Structure 1
Amino acid sequence: MPHDDPPPDDPASPTCYARELDEAWLKPLSPEERARQVAQWRREERARLVALRVARPAEERQAIADQVGRELDRLIAPDAVVGLYWPFRGELDLRPWMRDFVGKGGRAALPVVVAKDQPLVFRAWTPGCRMSHGVWKIPIPAQGPEVVPDVVVAPLVGHDPNCYRLGYGGGFFDRTLAAFAEKPLAIGVGDGSGAIASIFPQAHDIPMDVIVTEAGRQDRR
């Protein structure tokens, strides 16, 4: 997926905001103040988790990506249309899996930002197709038809036991899932360092159906 807001240059994170986000602590707050505190906590947690995954050696990340790819083979039909992503800031690199999937007869697509606060569209991708730079200079197919994916594979900054995904904060992914006439299978992928107790989901957050890391597969309860 494209990235809603670029990660901060300084990945350092101060002390955890667990006390501020305890349910009992939040009850007296107005909805606006509660949302503000959750947003603040997410910014801090996002920076901490991005720093952890960037610090992981590249060969370890690729080994995790290969392991995740094997689970995707079990989850995704070989003739499906799959929306994937181009890796950024230490995300799992699934491009080898994407090439193999297309080579076996599947169809792949990459997300394109149309405008701020609008759902993403998916443009068909094939090995060797002409690419251009999208938002934050992330490569996207330069041309080609828009497609509607059967499955959307999204990178995780963080995730919780209820399959809620912590992303980059701009809400592109949630708006996109909400806009589909028929919701695709949503799979979040990442490494185990992104596991947290809760992302403190808000009304706009849409959970993944499945999360896959090196720790295994986690299905939505």
Structure 2
Amino acid sequence: MAEKSDSDTEIREYASPPCYAHELSPEYGGQSEPEDSWSCVLRWRKVERQRLIEERLAIDADERKKRSDRIASRLDLAIGKVSGRIVSGYWPFRGEPDLRNWAITVIERGGRIALPVVIRKGWPLEFRIWSPGDPLERGVWNILVPSRGPSVLPDVVIAPVVGFDGANYRLGYGGGFFDRTLAAMHRRPLAIGVGYAGSRLETIRPQPHDIAMDAIVTD
């Protein structure tokens, strides 16, 4: 999740971020920031992030399972052979597609599953091997993570998206963890974003620090 900031109050005062308010009405005469300014993009992303999360939380459990299963079947096509490879998945959070059953099939087919762990704000993620029955603990945002286990470099990184665009840029929760992690890796893994098709945006307004996924897989 994005951290609280002094701009939170300002966002609630606008139906659209103030730097785009002139788009709502030609009569708008207030001062606006350049559309590509980072502070403007941050405000716009915050509004879109909240909207998209609320939309996916409104999906009922049965429908979410159907969509998750469709994503799982398409992941197999995107990844190909998993035997002998380390695939980093995730523990679902706030209505994200649930791919835990699919992760077990990866293990059954000779692959290994790792889960991302936040070590500290501003640091890259650490990936730890996980198998069913391994001990878990509550990490950042109360998400379950392996409580112990070796740190590994995945061959495939699956990153849940809040939103995405046609250039495969991913809108996440605002912490920058996946971008920072991919940038720091000495060997680039296959990076795949997963999410619901309805989360597609025209653009996430990518910035120099944003790293595009190799592919986005949706339902």
- Per the normalisation by structure 2, the TM-score is 0.85
Matched residue, 1:209: 214
1:1-221 maps to which residues of 2 (within 5 A)? 15-17=15-17, 19=20, 34-76=37-79, 77-79=81-83, 80-214=85-219
Same amino acid, percent of matched pairs: 47
1:183 is paired with a residue whose SS is coil
> Partner of 2:69: helix, strand, or coil?
helix
Residue type at the aligned position of 1:186: A
User: Conserved in 1, the CA contact under 8 Å of 2:33 and 2:40?
Assistant: no
The 3-state SS of whatever aligns with 1:111 is: strand
| Counterpart residue identity of residue 114, structure 2 | A
Alignment gaps of 5+ in structure 2: 24-31
> Partners of 2:22 and 2:140 in 1: how far apart?
32
| Contact persistence 2:124–2:184 (CA under 8 A) | yes
Q: Per the alignment, in what secondary structure is the counterpart of residue 109 of structure 1?
A: strand
- How far apart are the structure 2 equivalents of 1:194 and 1:13? 24
> For 1:21 and 1:165, how far apart are their aligned partners in 2?
26
Match of 2:40, SS state, is helix
Alpha-carbon offset, residue 210 of structure 1: 0.3
Q: Give the conservation status (yes or no) of the 8 Å contact 1:4–1:171.
A: no
Q: Report if aligned partners of 1:21, 1:37 keep a CA contact under 8 Å in 2.
A: no
The alpha carbon displacement at 1:172 in A equals: 0.6
Deviation at 1:75, TM superposition (A): 2.1
Offset from partner CA, 1:32-84 (integer Å, 9 cap, x none): x8110000000000000000000011111111111111111122222221011
Larger Rg: 2
1:62 partner amino acid: K
- After the TM superposition, which parts of structure 1 deviate over 2 Å for at least 4 consecutive aligned residues? 3-6, 12-22, 28-31
| Partners of 1:108 and 1:166 in 2: CA distance | 24
Q: Distance in 1 between matches of 2:44 and 2:71?
A: 28
- Deviations for 1:179-215, whole angstroms, at most 9, x for unmatched residues? 100111110001112111000001100001000111x
Q: Secondary structure at the match of 2:133?
A: coil
* Aligned counterparts of 2:178 and 2:43: Cα–Cα separation in 1: 20
Q: Secondary structure at the match of 1:100?
A: helix
Distance (Å, rounded) in 1 between the aligned partners of 2:159 and 2:56: 16
Q: CA 1:137–1:19 in 2, change beyond 3 Å: closer, same or farther?
A: closer
Query: How far is the alpha carbon of 1:20 from its aligned partner?
Result: 5.7
Per-residue Cα deviation, 1:105-130 (whole angstroms, up to 9, x for no partner): 11000011111100001000001111
| Distance verdict in 2 for CA 1:20–1:177, change over 3 Å | farther
Give the residue type in structure 2 aligned to 1:105.
Answer: G
